[in-house]
Amino acid sequence: MPELRAAALQLLREPDPATKAAGTRALWAARDGLVLDAATELSDPGALPGRPALPRLVPADRVPRRSPFTAEGRAALLHAIAHIEFNAINLALDAVWRFAGMPDDYYRDWLQVAAEEALHFTLLREHLQGSLQRDYGDFGAHDGLWQMCERTAADVLARMALVPRTLEARGLDATPPIQAKLRRAGDLRAVEILDIILRDEIGHVAIGNRWYRHLCELQGLDPLALYPQLVERYAAPRLRPPLNMEARRAAGFSQAELDWLNS
């Protein structure tokens, strides 16, 4: 019988995006039949994550930013979002295998996140292929999400603080304005896909908040006071208003945290 964390690591190493996405969703569907060994420290095999030869990774300022009011510009925008979702599969799988000694619910939470990110990626890729005759890999992309994953590889508390509830939470703020542009451009299918992504990402950020606070409580730390220290220590981006306050409240941010982010 497969072991959940080892299976997640195997999927993280998979370079083919379609195989990784389908395998991740299948692993979540089979979760009740999996063994979970939370105690064993798994060895890092190196060369993580598995990824395809394309897209070519470039500095963030060289990723194409084009108007969504042209087909090519809309393809570039949706490709950028698909790349975020592909990286998010990897981030969630990494959270499953890397950190031993967490409660069983932690691993199931992050496997669920990985499966939902796999669905998001698949929906976006299918839309790129079917509506815009483009594919994942056709545009350059940057590696900022995975770089933060690497920086926080030795500290599950920092990982929870700075990946789901910082970098991924930026999507809560960015998605509605992007939807408004896509709606004006007439791409209603893309708007529908982003509705699904926004709904699920609220839950993903809530999971990050849950485990960040759990770890702070275990270590006797103040989550509000600690967060700015982690942002500085790991050189995380400081979020800038305007924030999607409704979505962030739904994801479990306290008013004090929102006040700090808005300051």
pLDDT tens string 130-144: 999 999 999 999 888
Separation CA 99–CA 153 (nearest Å): 9
- Which residues, 6+ apart, have CB-to-CB distance to 39 below 8 Å? 100, 101
Helix 170-184 and helix 188-219, axial crossing angle in degrees, nearest 10: 170
> Is residue 17 very low, low, confident or very high in pLDDT (cuts 50, 70, 90)?
very high
> Is residue 66 very low, low, confident or very high in pLDDT (cuts 50, 70, 90)?
confident
Look at residue 67 in the predicted model and tell me its pLDDT.
83
Residue 84 to residues 109, 121, 214, Cα–Cα distance (Å): 19, 8, 27
For 141-162, give one letter per residue: b (16+ CB within 10 A) or e.
Answer: bbbebbebbebbeebbbbbbbb
Look at residue 237 in the predicted model and tell me its pLDDT.
87
Separation CA 73–CA 156 (nearest Å): 38
- Which residues, 6+ apart, have CB-to-CB distance to 256 below 8 Å? 224
Look at residue 74 in the predicted model and tell me its pLDDT.
95
Does 225 have pLDDT greater than 80? yes
Does 123 have pLDDT greater than 80? yes
Look at residue 61 in the predicted model and tell me its pLDDT.
76
Q: Which domains does the chain have, with CATH numbers?
A: 4-35+65-262 (1.20.1260)
Give residue-wise pLDDT tens across range 41-57: 999 999 999 999 999 99
Q: What is the pTM of this model?
A: 0.96
Q: Are 118 and 22 in contact (CB under 8 A)?
A: yes
SS3 35: strand
Look at residue 145 in the predicted model and tell me its pLDDT.
87
Tokens standing for residue 147: 């770089």
Give residue-wise pLDDT tens across range 87-99: 999 999 999 999 9
DSSP tag of 169: T
Does 107 have pLDDT greater than 90? yes
Look at residue 82 in the predicted model and tell me its pLDDT.
97
Look at residue 59 in the predicted model and tell me its pLDDT.
83
